[in-house]
Structure 1
């Protein structure tokens, strides 16, 4: 597994637990650090994903719901929902990852952690959202360090 994929995997596990349990993301992340061996740069990437996605989960979900109308968001598998949130944050909100890379990484995570149908579902929803990258970016506004 590639290094950044491992970092995304850690972020996904934290967001998944937070989504299911309601635990605080900082506490869950700290617990996972005890069993994770990643370089500081990769841990920082995981931290950015977690704390980039977590505060705007509901806003991300509203964009996701528009592109998976046949699946009410509360019926989308928790793992799939979090994979999509992370990829959407990476390419449309933060803009730190090219669209194709974010989607490919999301598909890989879906293959590892999701059901047999997860990769196709994740790819379809993210493909639709990719077409609205600029609109989503504008909706979330400029980043403090990019103003």
Structure 2
């Protein structure tokens, strides 16, 4: 079964749980045990629902931080669950490229939501991607600083490591000797 269909089935389950104020995982267990008139839930739909349930607080926090003027609670039920699915795919499923997650969310929004929803969803999901990218850049910068601090604690400075790694045959102490003024006074010629 196509992932697009699995997303729609996951959306149906998340929507139902949201409307009934029912625990997502308990409803999922019911749907797995008794699919009713529908075919059994596809594996990817189950993965999405479990992923959203497991990370819902972080997903909602991210959506709230990236949204201007709208909290998750104020969004329409269908809109917020489309956003939750796509945000889960963006943040927690490395198999799905960001563009695909956004495009699939837009396809659902165009068929199930009002006319303004696709633009809102696109803008918010783009902001989620930007926030994630900025957080990754900041985390990488922190790692680099921590590595530099570790090297300093080991007695090596990043400059001396670069000098040694660059193939320069002079030792770091030669560089220090050259930069240190000699203790002998220099004579001046008058």
**Cα distance, 1:95 vs structure 2:** 1.8
Q: Return the index of the structure with the highest Cα Rg.
A: 2
1:1-147 to structure 2, matched below 5 A, reads: 3-23=2-22, 24-30=26-32, 33-37=35-39, 43-134=42-133, 135=135
Structure 2: which 5+ residue stretches go unaligned? 140-190
Distance in 1 between residues matched to 2:16 and 2:64, nearest whole Å: 21
Distance in 2 between residues matched to 1:66 and 1:32, nearest whole Å: 37
Select between 97-106 and 84-93 the one with higher mean Cα deviation: 84-93
Structure 1: which 5+ residue stretches go unaligned? 140-147
**Cα distance, 1:123 vs structure 2:** 0.4
Name the structure 2 match of 1:142: none
Distance in 2 between residues matched to 1:45 and 1:90, nearest whole Å: 11
**1:54-80 per-position Cα deviation (integer Å, ceiling 9, x unaligned):** 122122101000111311221111111
2:13 and 2:28 in contact (8 A); partners too? no
Seen in structure 2, the aligned counterparts of structure 1 residues 130 and 32 have a Cα distance that, compared at 3 Å, is: farther
TM (norm. structure 1) is: 0.80
TM (norm. structure 2) is: 0.63
Aligned residues: 134
Seen in structure 2, the aligned counterparts of structure 1 residues 31 and 77 have a Cα distance that, compared at 3 Å, is: farther
Q: Which has the higher contact order (CA 8 A, sep 6+)?
A: 1
Seen in structure 2, the aligned counterparts of structure 1 residues 32 and 125 have a Cα distance that, compared at 3 Å, is: farther
| RMSD of aligned residue pairs (Cα, Å) | 2.4
**Cα distance, 1:32 vs structure 2:** 7.4
